[in-house]
Structure 1
Amino acid sequence: MTYSRRIRPSMHIVHTIADLRAALAGRGRPAFVPTMGNLHAGHLSLVAQARPLGDVSVASIFVNRLQFAPHEDFDSYPRTWQADCDALQAAGCDLLFAPRESDLYPQPQTFTVQPDPQLDGMLEGHFRPGFFAGVCTVVMKLFSAVFFASGGGTAVFGKKDYQQLMVIRHMVQQFALPIAIVAGETARAGDGLALSSRNGYLDAAARSRAVQLSQALRALADAALQPGADLAALEAHALQTLSAQGWEADYLTVRERSDLSPPVGAPQAGQLVALGAARLDGTRLIDNLEF
């Protein structure tokens, strides 16, 4: 990747862990937003949310090879460096950490962070084996780099990656890291589609149909709260409906917000989340709806 410096000097950009730690020394507690770049309004809303939560706002851009399976889109994942820099600066980000792969992984990353098997064995972890180990490993390394000088701070993650947010929270708790994990609401387009970097893979026709995923989750959530609802039957119907619309669905399901376990007894409003993942014309989209 070639890095351009055509940017006003108010946002500092560093590429190495040593330079990041030096830039943060004496600047108080960071408020951190990790990203893989190709930024959209959802990312920028997290940066805006983070800014008042610390003494210095930090974002990272790093496409993490460890969380991609060999058949997934690591090589083709969109890299939009200059647009990302411009957007972060406009959003008021103080410091951008943009390591090259050799900066973050100067040697093979043979030590990894293994997530809780119960959380890792379901939903995203089931359909993307190794994904959460890759996420946890890179996030732990980013946390070590960003919070080294201050001894702690705040990190903001979006709710669109609902299970990822839960995995990171559990990791922070179990390692007793002095980092507050704050959730940001999912940003949506006008038709309700959750904003995602992978939306850019959709052509115009697929983009117009992509909202069907959020609509399916809304219908599933509404049906789940009806007296005598049979969740297994409702989930199966939701999958069939989405498949009939041309999607290849991995899951559409209702779970407890607290631990993503299947509800026991009658579903209770205010405690549940509907989650879904499905492919449309080869592009895999995820979404969720708390209800």
Structure 2
Amino acid sequence: MGRTIALLTDFGLDDPYVGQMKGVLARHAPDSRIIDVSHGVEPFCIPQGAFFLAAAMEHFPADSIFVTVIDPGVGSGRRILTAEFGEQVVLAPDNGILELAEKNFSGTMIVTDLSEAAAKIHSSATFHGRDIFSPLAASIARGTSPESLGPKLPLREIVRTGINKPVWMEDGVETTILHKDRFGNLVLNIPETQTLPERMTIPEKYLLSGNDAGFVKRVCCYAELEAGVTGLLAGSQGYYELALNRGAASEMLGLEPGDNLVLKF
């Protein structure tokens, strides 16, 4: 059995793009098992893609290859990388999408620049997921080592955007929305290991017109929330999330992945 190849994109499922990537992988790495992490990342939303990647990796086999294509710079001079987390390998554009995975990894991430190898592959200017990332992933799945495909990069040289670092203030914290799930819960970039106050508030400027639900109560589960009260709880993915009991925190705040929010202590 070949290595597991995990796909994570912002392509959606309405177009043939994901199917074409899977076709390339099936042709070049027929012994590999292909698993979809998600193709529902909001278009171009690097924070959400970074969250999906970091949240998925620990649940996959130790030698999995992640093909991570949230790539608003496709066709430009942005670099194409592999990042090794032990035996797991991530192929990704150099745009900050590795940040949360790197933060969660207890070892040292090893990064290789595949840009020169990628440049030798005939490709379209707009679909590197099919034309470059998939063939490279298949090659690695068949046994090609990343170091044979390009030079190592010092970690200080890769792109970082700061999504893994909430901004702490004397009276609060500015956080980034990593994800809005189908229930309207908002996943924040605050790890569940961080201690937070029992009660917080959301400044009025973040509330939609006519909504006065700015009070936030820290709880352990959704059922502990009274109707209309916003809760902050440690979610299943290792980060705090804002939630309403049988309601949508995202509708209350009008926030999307990548937006910022301040919580006042």
TM-score (norm 2): 0.29
TM-score (norm 1): 0.27
- Which has the larger strand fraction? 2
